[in-house]
A and B are shown apart, each in its own frame.
Chain A
């Protein structure tokens, strides 16, 4: 019984959702963190602005802070940067014709996979 309790405690502890720290407080700062984690550093291309220590990333982060302070919202700031640096700066590109394959690709692959499995299963039954 004791062993059962120990094991079930360990097992159940895996089921609890992990704890994480949530950014709270100043909404401007929360938005700043959100944006800097979603925007790409164009110099060191596989890093977000948040991760990057490059001078340009620092500039863009300062710019984001000034824009937030002057009351601009998320979309306005993103639009400002996309107008200058292109969609590439967004880690989560918008859904449009040029990016439809990027967004729809996984679904397409899933459909193909299901089709493949079904056809194999059907054939093995025959």
Chain B
């Protein structure tokens, strides 16, 4: 009996320590997107470049896509843009799309002119409708979509060198190798 009464509290406290340690390790900002490994939601939006040209989710077909959520008022987007441009150069045949989230076309155009534009097109999501369907809650966010149009990766916040080298680039290469 005496043995049990010493072991039990100890086990209890160890259990608590385990949960607390795990809790500290979790990043509350990194919400696990329930959309992962599901088909990317449909959308139809004009682009920042051309307000009469509409683009839809068929754009994902047959290509590995990096979809980058950005806004002209987003400081981190501005900080990481130079790296984005460099990173885009190091990997061929990947489609880079911008999702200009709740922004004005003119501000967005000026921003791209100032900080560079690695994107084939910038979807202009004025009302944040596409953002809502994709579970976006701030800029920047980065999605990777495979050749079949399935969401394979999402990260919130700045695209760091570490994330790029350890997660994003290897995943892009892996997805590129798969036949559509």
List 16 extra interface pairs beyond A43-B138, A55-B102, A84-B132, CB under 8 A.
A43-B137, A59-B132, A60-B132, A63-B132, A82-B34, A83-B34, A84-B34, A84-B35, A85-B135, A85-B137, A86-B31, A86-B34, A86-B135, A88-B31, A112-B12, A119-B1
Chain B proximity of A118: nearest CB distance (Å):
12
The interface residues of chain B lying within 8 Å CB-to-CB of A59 are 127-128, 132
A119 touches B5 (CB 8 A): yes
Per-residue A-contact encoding for B81-104, CB less than 8 Å = 1, 0 else: 000000000000000000000100
Q: List B residues at the A interface (Cβ < 8 Å).
A: 1, 5, 12, 28-29, 31-35, 102, 127-128, 132-135, 137-138
B31 touches A42 (CB 8 A): yes
Considering the chains assembled together, what is the distance between the CA atoms of A63 and B128 in angstroms? 11
Chain A proximity of B145: nearest CB distance (Å):
16
Q: Which of B32, B102, B134, B138 contacts A84 (CB 8 A)?
A: B134
Taking chain A's interface residues, is the majority helix, strand, or loop, or is none over half, making it mixed?
Answer: helix
Per-residue B-contact encoding for A38-79, CB less than 8 Å = 1, 0 else: 000011010000000001100110010000000000000000
Chain A proximity of B108: nearest CB distance (Å):
17
The interface residues of chain B lying within 8 Å CB-to-CB of A87 are 34
Chain B proximity of A62: nearest CB distance (Å):
10
Kindly identify, within residues 67 to 117 of chain A, every residue whose CB is under 8 Å from any CB belonging to chain B.
Answer: 82-88, 112
Considering the chains assembled together, what is the distance between the CA atoms of A37 and B32 in angstroms? 22
The interface residues of chain A lying within 8 Å CB-to-CB of B128 are 56, 59
Considering the chains assembled together, what is the distance between the CA atoms of A100 and B134 in angstroms? 28
| Most chain A CB inside 10 Å of its own CB: which residue of B35, B102, B128, B133 | B128
A56 touches B5 (CB 8 A): no
The interface residues of chain B lying within 8 Å CB-to-CB of A63 are 132
The interface residues of chain A lying within 8 Å CB-to-CB of B1 are 119
The interface residues of chain A lying within 8 Å CB-to-CB of B33 are 86
Chain A proximity of B139: nearest CB distance (Å):
11
Chain A proximity of B148: nearest CB distance (Å):
20
The interface residues of chain B lying within 8 Å CB-to-CB of A55 are 102
- Nearest A residue (CB) for B4: A119
- Nearest A residue (CB) for B102: A55
Considering the chains assembled together, what is the distance between the CA atoms of A88 and B30 in angstroms? 11
- Nearest A residue (CB) for B36: A86
